[in-house]
């Protein structure tokens, strides 16, 4: 079973750790595949890992030079928006020095 297919099966079973492992391997084999990148970023984000930002940067760089499936583009926009909101919230908390914003 290919890593992408394995990821989809693991995601359906709500196995984020397994999906992460499959996507980590898929990313090492196909580091510029937009489908791998968006799914890897989604799983990293679901696990609360900051690496999601780096993967989204990679994906945005690729989308700037090649046509990407519209569904991937929409998912990337949605995830990028969430990441920006979370970054703004974290910065607000840091500036105010409180956990209650």
Domain range list for the chain? 3-96
What architecture (CATH level 2) is domain 3-96?
A: Alpha Horseshoe (1.25)
Q: What was the pLDDT predicted at 72?
A: 93
Whole-angstrom CA distances from 57 to 52, 76, 95 are 9, 10, 25
Q: Stretch 20-36: mean pLDDT, rounded?
A: 94
3-state secondary structure of 39: helix
Q: Is the pLDDT of residue 24 over 50?
A: yes
**pLDDT digits over 47-90, tens only?**
899 999 999 999 999 999 999 999 999 999 999 999 999 988 88
For the whole model, what pTM was predicted?
Answer: 0.78
Which segment of 9-13, 33-37, 56-60 scores lowest on mean pLDDT? 9-13
Confirm if 7 and 19 have CB atoms less than 8 A apart. Answer: yes
């Amino acid at each position: 079973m290919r890593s992408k297919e394995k990821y989809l099966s693991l995601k359906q079973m709500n196995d984020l750790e397994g999906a992460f492992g499959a996507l980590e391997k898929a990313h090492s084999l196909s580091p510029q595949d937009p489908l791998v990148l968006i799914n890897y970023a989604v799983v990293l984000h679901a696990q609360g890992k900051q690496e999601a930002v780096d993967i989204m940067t990679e994906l945005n760089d690729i989308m700037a030079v090649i046509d990407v499936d519209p569904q991937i583009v929409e998912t990337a926009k949605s995830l990028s928006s969430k990441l920006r909101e979370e970054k703004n919230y974290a910065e607000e908390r840091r500036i105010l020095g409180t956990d209650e914003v």
